[in-house]
Amino acid sequence: MNYKFLLILLLTLLGACKSYEVTENSKKIINKESFVSKGFTLVYDDTLFKDKIIKKKLDNRSYFIFQKNLKKNTTVKITNILNNKSIIAKVDIVSSYPLFNNSVISARIANEIDLDVKEPYIEIFEILDNSTFIAGKAKTFDEEKNVANKAPIQNISINNLNESNEDKSKEINKDKMKKFNYNIKVADFYFKDTAFDMVKKIKAISSIKNIKVDKLSKTQYRVFLGPFKNINSLQKAFNDISILEFENIEIIRND
């Protein structure tokens, strides 16, 4: 009897150990995907706060941003999509801002990436804590933050590449001569009929009319609005479609 009892106890312990190991291994293979957002940012100015467009102030000397989808102190890579310049920043406390914008950034960040305030199109890429990229950039960010805190705010200026001097304009004009041209992607579908059914649905429940379907491949049909040739018409259309609460609405530049 004692032998049978010991055998049962041993099998139970082994089973428990095996279960524990599977659980631990399962945790290791779960990979969270980084949050990515492409869109138009707002460059912070005190008038935005005074006019109640945003509810909280942002230090214009800092490397911090407002981004409502990310937690405070999340490390992000901010890229100016028009010139591919990027910088590491962190998310500040949560603050509301217009639905059309994907963030609010400090004047210092805008200056560092040579942001054109007439076309402030950026990508926000979340750098995960377990990323190999984060270790090398953490020290760099802290050094930049210390410099920013000591620098006088009057030395920060927003670069508008359309107003650069003549010599500088000659060097960058090839890229900047591209006209403002954007689409609003509503969704991608596997079947053509499903895409056109979505178009009918949007027209039936809203006043939006300029909806189109683009065949990207044999198995990908994109429902979109556009093209838009200025930021005002783009913003109005974006706000109109956002009321319908579709997920993953994107603003895409037509190169």
Residues 143-191 pLDDT 10s? 555 555 555 554 555 555 444 444 444 444 555 556 899 999 999 999 9
Q: In the predicted model, what is the mean pLDDT of residues 200-211?
A: 89
First to last CA, the chain: 80
Above pLDDT 70, what percent of the chain?
68
pLDDT at 137: 54
Residues 106-129 pLDDT 10s? 999 999 999 999 999 999 999 987
State which fold the 182-253 domain adopts: Alpha-Beta Plaits (3.30.70)
Stated pTM of the model: 0.70
pLDDT at 243: 85
Please report where in the chains the tokens 């979340």 appear, as a residue.
Answer: 126
Q: Are 161 and 114 in contact (CB under 8 A)?
A: yes
Reduce the secondary structure of the chain to three states and give it as a string.
Answer: CHHHHHHHHHHHHHHHHHHHHHHHHHHHHCCCCCCEEEEEEEECCHHHHHCCCCCCCCCCCCCEEECCCCCCCCEEEEEECCCCEEEEEEECCCCCCCCCEEEEECHHHHHHCCCCCCCCEEEEEECCCCCHHHHHHHHHHHHHHHHHHHCCHHHCCCCCHHHCCHHHHHHHHHHHCCCCCEEEEEEEECCHHHHHHHHHHHHHHCCCCCEEEEEEECCEEEEEEEEECCHHHHHHHHHHHHCCCCCCCEEEECC
Q: Is the dihedral of CA 12, 15, 21, 27 positive or negative?
A: negative
Query: Which neighbouring-strand residues pair with 104?
Result: 42, 66
Task: Please state, as a whole number, how many other Cβ atoms lie within 10 Å of the Cβ of residue 35.
Answer: 15
Domain chopping of the chain, boundaries:
36-176, 182-253
What CATH architecture applies to the domain 36-176?
Answer: Beta Barrel (2.40)
Give the whole-angstrom CA distance, residue 72 versus residue 184.
29
Residue 16 exposure: Cα atoms within 13 Å on the Cβ side: 6
Greater pLDDT, 137 or 189: 189
Integer-rounded Cα radius of gyration of the chain: 25
Give the whole-angstrom CA distance, residue 110 versus residue 35.
21
Q: Prior bond to 152 cis, omega within 30?
A: no
Give the whole-angstrom CA distance, residue 94 versus residue 72.
7
Q: Are 162 and 116 in contact (CB under 8 A)?
A: yes
Residue 47 identity: T
- The whole-chain average pLDDT of the chain stands at 79
Phi first, then psi, for residue 68 (nearest 5°) are -70, -15
